[in-house]
A = this chain, B = another copy of it.
């Protein structure tokens, strides 16, 4: 389907400026450029106008107007998407949620919080921590990404392995539909069996169904202690095998991250991190356990150590201080940025059942050999979620833009065969749309389209994303 959207006219600009004031609407070329890029910096698609509403009523008025006038609207959080979800492919309006930056309420009686979608993830987590509360979802972008964007992509992060992804913490959403109608999707309760689950339908819908304007999150008590260790393996596949073995011993770590040698080397190269990695190391697992009683955490570590030893782990570095913990976490968190500093790259967000990780890793490397690309693999191994970074290096443009797509497709085909899928936590956006035929049948697409129309009859919201 090819939709024709209306080009923004001076009358439209006048309407928006009257509604939002001059600081809430701008269309000068230079400032628009910023909103034509996202974090991936691969695609550029410029909006015709950027709007910065401050409250639900303004969002409603904008959408009502755009719906009547058939103007495309793309919601934008902090622009940290790895799937180009925030890019205005059809130009029109970029609706920035940057002014929705208030924590409305932290309810310490019910362990809930009500926030606006433009609050930065880490800021929110720090604020609730002041009350001894824990908001676990911690995507790599947590220092800059907005909570609304996290919901739109069903974001994960290292803590997801024990605590679940963003979706597990969303109780209720205030959403503005394309028509301007405002609804709450659910209730502020831990359980709800009242009608279709619109809350979870919004989670992961990447701004295609409505604009989230308020969020009610569930919080949990913050565990008091944690222990962290870095386990070195001579074989990356052995490291992957170890992952499912740990769970089989009855332990659920609060983080279980994998980094292959290349990821570690790039990170050490581009950062000031003081960790010596011997020649023989092919991969690391970073393993954290948490809880309220330190003595049992040590026991958990004993169990984990036994598993590590049995699976050929060569060395375990146990973080002895908060500083050492922070060093190890920096090693893991800086991988993505370091890859970026090294080369242009494509990041694939593969996900499979946890025990299939060794097969996935082997397949990725074989595909790389076949198509002549270097891949750097790391990620949330405890969830079976492996980030495969394919480096451009000195590859020519033809290969980079065309040939290796067949290789990426082979990797996703493998994910599918292993019971997995093509995105664990980054979303489809535009970047992965070319591969969705592997996982969406015509029936899926029909259902998606009809759902989309139920919320957004003229399909003005984030057109061109997820599916056609």
Contact = CB atoms under 8 A, between A and B. Distances in A.
Interface in A182-210: 183, 186-198, 200-201, 203-205, 209
A102 interface: no
A186 B203 CA distance: 14
Contacts of A132: 250
B198 A447 contact: yes
Contacts of A251: 221
Nearest to A441: B183
Contact of A421 (B194, B383, B426): B194
A344 B299 CA distance: 53
A113 B206 CA distance: 30
Nearest to A206: B193
A109 B291 CA distance: 25
A79 interface: no
A437 B107 CA distance: 28
B293 A181 contact: no
Given A168-B168, A189-B351, A250 B424 contact: no
A450 B457 CA distance: 11
Contacts of A18: none
Contacts of A205: 196
B420 A188 contact: yes
A160 interface: yes
A349 B424 CA distance: 35
B196 A349 contact: no
Interface string A249-260: 111100000000
Contacts of A174: none
Contacts of A197: 154, 167, 200-201, 203-204
Given A193-B153, A193-B424, A455-B447, A188 B419 contact: yes
B423 A193 contact: yes
A186 B421 contact: yes
A295 B201 CA distance: 42
A97 interface: no
A15 interface: no
Contacts of A271: none
B201 A196 contact: yes
Interface stretch (A22-30, A58-66, A315-323, A352-360): A352-360
A444 B173 CA distance: 13
Given A111-B247, A198-B444, A292-B250, A421 B153 contact: no
Interface string A43-79: 0000000000000000000000000000000000000
A195 B440 contact: yes
Contact of A196 (B204, B220, B299, B383): B204
Contacts of A422: 194
A405 interface: no
Interface in A283-299: 291-293, 295-296, 299
Interface of A: 107-112, 132, 153-156, 160-161, 164-165, 167-168, 177, 181, 183, 186-198, 200-201, 203-205, 209, 220-222, 224, 244, 247-252, 291-293, 295-296, 299-300, 349, 351-356, 380, 383-385, 419-428, 436, 439-441, 443-444, 446-448, 450-451, 453-455, 466-467
29 contacts: A107-B355, A132-B250, A160-B190, A160-B191, A161-B190, A165-B191, A167-B200, A168-B168, A183-B441, A183-B447, A187-B351, A189-B351, A189-B353, A189-B385, A191-B380, A192-B351, A194-B422, A194-B423, A194-B436, A195-B467, A196-B201, A196-B451, A196-B466, A201-B201, A293-B293, A293-B295, A293-B299, A451-B451, A454-B454
